[in-house]
Structures are given as C-alpha cells and as structure tokens.
Amino acid sequence: MKNPIALAALLFSASLAHADEVQVAVAANFTAPMQKIAAQFEKDTGHVAKLSFGATGKFYAQITNGAPFEVLLAADDETPAKLEKEGQAAAGSRFTYAIGTLVLWSAKPGVVDDQGAVLKSASFDHLSIANPKTAPYGLAAIETMKALGVLDAVTPKLVQGENIAQAYQFVATGNAPLGFVALSQVFEDGALKGGSAWIVPAKLHTPIRQDAVVLAKGAANPAAKALLAYLKGEKARTVIRAYGYQIAE
C-alpha cells in the first residue's frame, strides 16, 4: 500500500480490533487527574478504562465480596498490599502511582491562613473531613489535628463525608466553612483554583502513598496491564504532577 494515510488508518483500525475494556476502581481524591489520564489512555492505546470513584475502604469491601473491578487505584498503600496478600490481586503488579498532599481549604478567600492557625480559633462552626475509617485522607486529617493538639477541641465541629469527594462538596457548597481535602481537588497547573488554603506539612501525618494494583479479575486482561504501564509513563505523570501530587522514585 503506497498511500501512507491509508496505511496509518489500517494500522489504527487493527489496534482498535484488539482493544479491551478495563473496570477501574479509583480513589475519590484522584478523580480529576484520572479522568484526563483515561481519556489520553484510550486515545493512545484504544483500550477503554471504565472508571468508578469512591472511598478506598469501601472498594476493599466490594472487591472482597466479588465486585468486577480489575484495577484498583487506592488512596493508600495498605489496601493494595492487603489484597495482594489475600490473593485478590496479581502479585508483583503493585506500585505507588502518586503521593498525595493534604490541604486545609475554604471556598472563601481569607478564611484559612498559610499556617493553619485558624484551627486553634473558635471562628468556625463546622470542619469537614472524610471518614477516617474508610478514607486515608480523613485519617491523615485526624493525625494532623492530633499533632497540632487541636483534635479534642475541634471534634464537636467535625462533619464527615463518606469519602474525600463528599468532604470537598461540604466546603464547596458552604455547608462547612473549611475542611481537610486533597490538594488535587483545589489545585491545578501549579495554582490554587480559588478560596484560601494551608498545605499541611507532610511531617504532621503518615505519608499518603497511593498504590495501584491489578486485581485478580484483571490478571488476564491486557488492558489492565496496559493501564498500569501507562500510569508509569511521562504523559500520565505530567498530569499527576499538575494536580499537586508527588511521584515516587
């Protein structure tokens, strides 16, 4: 075939003929970057990533009860390791795709200072966090408040979201004047998207290492393996960094 355009079209059609779908459980904090990554993944490989977003703890319960997920992008490193140990994930597929950053955020300018001193004041009625029993960012928020010595005073003001997405919504809609959320929810392309924020120093809580793993149901799916390989590539990492995450070496 002498026509290069026709040849390219033929090759692309052939690649699509071998494309597969992969069912992906994604930690709520990683919603925005994963939507972008999945779109680029499909464009580059032909594989389609079907995304479901939620709390890592709830995904664990669903996976162990037979949910058809084939890849898990968790908000921690403990859950994928546990699934691997229990035979629910493909051995050797686990890796850290991002290191998350916790932020105290208000949708309004001037509410949160750059040292987080607002936590020691009585100037707010409610403080939003994700459920610390199922969401690693919620646990990191509790650890942070313990480290600052404010947890006992603040506890009566806490409102819990089912996951970090709901915790963010409480603040974004004004139902809580401030809350602990993921930096990725309020940060893009190197800048805060609005409001006021304090980026919590990493030393105040356990590192939020977010691991990905191919689950047992996806072990034979080429799209599952392709997605994890894609997450390690520079296109995906560029998106991950743009939302304020760090990349593990």
Q: pLDDT tens digit string along 124-134?
A: 999 999 999 98
For 1-5, 37-41, 90-94, 184-188, which range has the lowest pLDDT when averaged over its residues? Answer: 1-5
pLDDT (0 to 100) of residue 6: 53
Among candidate residues 73, 81, 24, the one with its CA nearest the CA of residue 218: 24
**Tokens found for residue 15:** 């690649």
| Paired tokens of 237 | 């990492």
What pLDDT is recorded for position 84?
Answer: 97
Could you report the per-residue pLDDT of 99-141, keeping only the tens digit for each? 999 999 999 999 999 999 999 987 899 999 999 998 889 999 9
Q: 3-state DSSP: the chain helix, strand, coil percent, rounded to 5?
A: 45, 25, 30
Identify the pLDDT of residue 122: 75
19-49: buried (b, 16+ CB within 10 Å) or exposed (e) per residue?
A: eeebbbbbbbbbbbbbebbbeebeeebbbeb
Judged against a pLDDT cut of 70, whether residue 249 lies above it is answered with yes
Asked whether residue 11 carries a pLDDT value surpassing 60, the answer given is no
Whether the predicted pLDDT of 13 surpasses 60? no
Sorted by where each begins, the domain ranges of the chain are 4-99+208-242, 102-199
Catalogue the long-range contacts made by 228-235 (C-beta closer than 8 Å, 24 or more residues apart): 228/71, 228/93, 228/95, 230/37, 230/41, 230/44, 230/45, 231/37, 231/73, 231/97, 232/95, 232/97, 235/37, 235/40, 235/44
Q: Are 179 and 170 in contact (CB under 8 A)?
A: yes
- Tell me which architecture the domain covering 4-99+208-242 has in CATH: 3-Layer(aba) Sandwich (3.40)
Q: What is the pLDDT of residues 197-210, one digit of tens each?
A: 999 999 999 999 99
What distance in Å separates the CA atoms of residue 95 and residue 189, rounded to the nearest whole number?
25
* Mean pLDDT score across all residues of the chain: 92
Task: Please give the share of the chain, as a percent, with pLDDT higher than 70.
Answer: 93
Give strand ranges (E) for 10-115: 21-27, 48-54, 71-73, 95-100, 102-106
Q: Over 60: is that where the pLDDT of 10 sits? A: no
Same fold for the pair 4-99+208-242 and 102-199:
yes
Residue 248's pLDDT is 85
In this prediction, residue 190 has a pLDDT band, given cuts at 50, 70 and 90, of confident
The average pLDDT across 230-240 equals: 97
Class of domain 102-199: alpha beta
Taking the CB of residue 172, how many other CB atoms lie within 10 A of it?
19
In this model, does residue 169 exceed pLDDT 80?
yes
- pLDDT grade for 19, boundaries at 50, 70 and 90: confident
pTM, 2 dp: 0.83
- Cα three-residue angle 12-46-35, rounded to 5 degrees: 145
What local confidence, expressed as pLDDT, does residue 16 receive? 47
Compute CA distances 147 → 70, 150, 168, 200, whole Å: 37, 8, 22, 11
